[in-house]
Amino acid sequence: MLDAFRLDGRVALVTGAARGLGRAIAAGLAEAGADVAVLDRLEAEETAREISASGRRAQKLRFDLREATAAQAEKIVAECVRELGRLDILVNNAGVIRRAPALEFSEQDWEDVLSVNLTSVFYLSQAAARHFVAAGRGGKIINLASVLSYQGGITVPSYAASKSGVANLTRALANEWAGRGINVNALAPSYYTTELTADLRDDPERSEALLARIPAGRWGEPEDLKGAAVFLASDAAAYVHGTILPVDGGWLGR
């Protein structure tokens, strides 16, 4: 049974992989046997080095998903396939957040967040699925939703909207592509020790209130996502379609 979780011979593409959750997911997939293309607008040398240390191949891709288009997505998938020979797993992890009261929220902050968090997810999923269908092997798409796919949050209107969109886009694509051998699912983290939560962790009042709400009693660490990501990327999840899997320390059960 353990062999069903192995990813040997497969190639994954992870967006937003230079740090945080994306870096941990990329490392976890490599530890399970996958070669990994790591995409970020920042330098992802440390992530690539970590993948290589697992004995797997790493490819670095530099793209800014704030400029997400269908053409950009096709180029990303083509570059990954050209360098690593194939594509079997797409992890749409890249994400940004902007915090401000809704009455003061700027047009640029709205557009940047929706472009990275939602528009790029659709276009990359579309491009990857076209490759999967053409290759005739099926494939895995893992999106990063959030506990704010279920809740509205505070002063994060574009982030909440985008993550709700990711959850329903995941279900919609699963409905269309499950019969083609493509598994589309999502992970829903809660509050993790990443750059996106730095402001919250630096605010004693907000930090205390959030920790009091998490039954596990601690912030999530990026490594906490590795197992769930490997599961959804593997044959062990062959009959899992359209699922939003919380990895939240119990946040949603509270």
Domains of the chain: 2-246 (3.40.50.720)
Q: What is the pLDDT of residue 198?
A: 85
Q: What is the pLDDT of residue 126?
A: 98
Residue of 159, 191, 192, 239 with catalytic role: 159
For residue range 59-81, what is the model confidence (pLDDT) as tens digits?
999 999 999 999 999 999 999 99
- 61 contacts 36 by C-beta, under 8 angstroms: no
Residue 184: its pLDDT value, please? 99
d(CA 96, CA 115): 9
Residue-level pLDDT at 200: 85
Name residues of the chain where pLDDT drops below 50: none
Q: So what's the pLDDT on residue 206?
A: 86
C-alpha pair distances (Å), 224 with each of 12, 76, 190, 193, 229 = 19, 28, 11, 11, 10
Q: How would you class 225 by CB atoms within 10 Å of its CB: exposed for 0-12, middle for 13-18, buried for 19 or more?
A: buried
d(CA 251, CA 22): 21
- 3-class secondary-structure state, position 186: strand
Q: What is the pLDDT of residue 252?
A: 96
pLDDT at 26: 98
Catalytic annotation present for 159 = yes
